[in-house]
A and B are shown apart, each in its own frame.
Chain A
Amino acid sequence: MTPDQSPVLQSGIQPRASVWRRLDAMSRRGLPAVFTALSILLLSAPFDLPGQAELLPGVVLSSVFFWSVFRPASMSSPVVFLLGLLVDLLGFGPPGVMLLILLIVHGVGLSGRYGFARMHILLLWAVFGAVALAATVLQWGLVSALALRAMPGVPFVFQWTLALGVFPMLCALFTVMARTMANPDRA
């Protein structure tokens, strides 16, 4: 039971849990993961947008962090694992790096969620900035270690800046989604 789900107080007058209603609730619960997977697929597609490859980690990190804090039921650890696997399969970096980073960010969001969920949005943004910075530094370190040479740091700084910039926009979008489309209580 997550905070934005209302407790079942009057079970007697709820609509019957038919197959369709259960399917509807399930799709609403799965919407965050589907949304993230779709954005991974779209951002790996050949659109030739400038900064497309650097935007992908920002979007995925924001999504995993937001949903891990506000509704872990929709962003459970196996789902994060599958999303990380998808990023690593579509990318051409050393395999497993994004997977590990996403799991760590998910763990951080999960363990601090009771504090994070009550924060002001600006403060949460700052926390996400710190988490994303740590994740980007870890990514740079792992990629450099696996390639046995120090990678240039500028693309990673660019990637972190994009993650920082995209988080508030995704936050607004996800908040609306959590109340409407992705709200299992509305099923």
Chain B
Amino acid sequence: MLIPLSIQSRQALDKLVLPLLIVAALGIMLLGQADRRLTERVRMGVADMLAPAYGLIVWPQERLHGLYQRMRDMTRIEAENERLRTENANLRHWYDVAAALADENAALKGHLHWMPDPAPSYVTGRVVRDTSGLYARSVLLAANVDAGIHKDEIVLDASGLVGRVTEVGGRSVRVLLVTDVSSRIPVTLEVSHGAAIMAGDNSATPRLMYYPQDNGPIEGERVVTNGEIDSLPAGLPVGRVHYVRPGQPVVIPAASLDHLDIVRVFDYGRASVVAPDAPGRIPLPRPGNSLVPSFQSKVGRG
């Protein structure tokens, strides 16, 4: 000890250490309860430091597991071969069917002088933060905004529709998920061919609204977008119908909305799609120019 102390005072100090540490432990407990983000940050820091060591531990385990798997595969190689041969025959049949259908499709498109749709351009981004709260469902995306991300563009992950861009920042983009309470997406039901509106309600499964009453959604059928609004093309996979209880269909989204990782922001360029003027029909008023029926001028001249 650096400071010379009498034996009595040193003993008294020794007795004080444990109660002080217990008080510190209680303080840490309260602090961890009050500021969870601090706890998470400290723990993630420790985990980052230990990650290489843990990687060294995991590596031989994975190798051993792989070795064990290979040895187990070797013991049942015959059954596996038999299964693969059957599956191969089956797939060969489907390959012939697919080739025939592709030929037929190409011939039909040739007859129709089919012009393919322009391939949509997209920008890839990584979901960096879930900004969902009690009242909203949205995520923050780190993406190269300069590559052409605009408001109202469509966001898809590997398996389905995620949402739409609502705010565009300098390097990040906020995406409103289809499960948000303010999200309304027009959809088509693939089997029953009904149209409906998919309305988010902040739960994991958006509700279906305004579907035809005589031709209700069928449990398990695919739901795709319907393309009746600008910026949203038809046929994008959305999810599957599920009945929570009779008369209450919901959509289980195809996209894994609770753990999004890398998503794509598509620019379908649909805002430039303008309906052509139809002869013989009264043109609809557009905002900005007043309704001037074309036949009125003829009457005036004549």
Q: What residues of chain A have their CB less than 8 Å away from a CB belonging to chain B? A: 41, 45-48, 76-78, 80-81, 84-85, 88-90, 92, 94-97, 99-100, 103-104, 106-107, 110, 142, 146
Q: Within the complex, what minimum Cβ distance (angstroms) separates B114 from chain A?
A: 54
Q: How far is the CB of B290 from chain A (nearest CB, A)?
A: 63
Give the chain A neighbours of B50 by CB distance below 8 A.
41, 90
B53: which A residues are within 8 A, CB to CB? 45
Expressed in whole angstroms, the Cα–Cα distance for A89 and B42 within the complex equals 8
Q: Is the CB of A99 within 8 A of B25?
A: yes
Known contacts A46-B54, A95-B31; 10 additional CB pairs below 8 A are: A45-B53, A47-B61, A76-B17, A77-B18, A96-B27, A96-B29, A96-B30, A97-B29, A103-B22, A146-B29
The B interface is mostly helix, strand or loop, or mixed, namely: helix
CB of B88 within 8 Å of the partner chain? no
Are A77's CB and B32's CB within 8 A? no
Chain B residue total in the interface (Cβ 8 A): 24
Given A78-B17, A81-B25, the answer on whether A94 and B54 have CB atoms closer than 8 Å is no
Decide: A89 and B43 in contact? CB cutoff 8 A. Answer: yes
B57 lies within 8 A of A94 (CB) = no
Whether the pair A106, B32 counts as a contact (CB closer than 8 A) is no
Shortest Cβ gap from A101 to chain B (Å): 9
Which residues of B from 37 to 78 have beta carbons under 8 Å from A? Answer: 39, 42-43, 46, 50, 53-54, 57-58, 61
Q: With A100-B25, A107-B18 known to touch, is A46 a contact of B58 (CB < 8 Å)?
A: yes
Q: Please pick, from A81, A90, A110, the residue contacting B21 in the complex, using a CB distance under 8 A.
A: A81
Report 21 cross-chain contacts, Cβ distance below 8 Å, ordered by A residue. A41-B50, A46-B57, A47-B61, A77-B18, A78-B21, A81-B25, A85-B28, A89-B43, A92-B43, A94-B32, A95-B29, A96-B28, A96-B31, A97-B29, A100-B25, A103-B18, A103-B22, A103-B25, A106-B18, A107-B18, A110-B18
Chain A residues near B25 (CB-CB < 8 A): 81, 84, 96, 99-100, 103
Residues of B within 8 A of A76 (CB): 17
The 7 closest A-B pairs by CB, nearest first: A96-B29, A95-B32, A96-B28, A100-B25, A99-B25, A77-B18, A81-B21
A-B CB contacts (within 8 Å), total count: 66
A48 touches B61 (CB 8 A): yes
How many angstroms between the C-alpha atoms of A180 and B137 in the bound complex?
Answer: 62
Determine the chain A residues whose CB is within 8 A of the CB of B54 once the complex forms.
Answer: 45-46
Which residues from chain B contact A85 at a C-beta distance below 8 Å?
28
| Chain B contacts for A77, CB-based, 8 A | 17-18, 21
Q: In the bound complex, how far is the Cα of B17 from the Cα of A85, in angstroms?
A: 16
In the complex, how many angstroms separate the beta carbon of B64 from the nearest chain A beta carbon?
Answer: 11
Checking A46, A81, A107 against B24 with a beta-carbon cut-off of 8 angstroms, the contacting residue is A81
Most B CB contacts (10 A, CB to CB) among A46, A90, A94, A103 go to A103
Residue pair A89, B32 in contact (C-beta under 8 Å): no
Q: In whole Å, how far is A39's beta carbon from the nearest beta carbon of chain B?
A: 14
B271 on the A face (CB < 8 A): no
B33 touches A100 (CB 8 A): no
Residue in B29, B32, B46, B58 whose CB lies within 8 Å of A90? B46
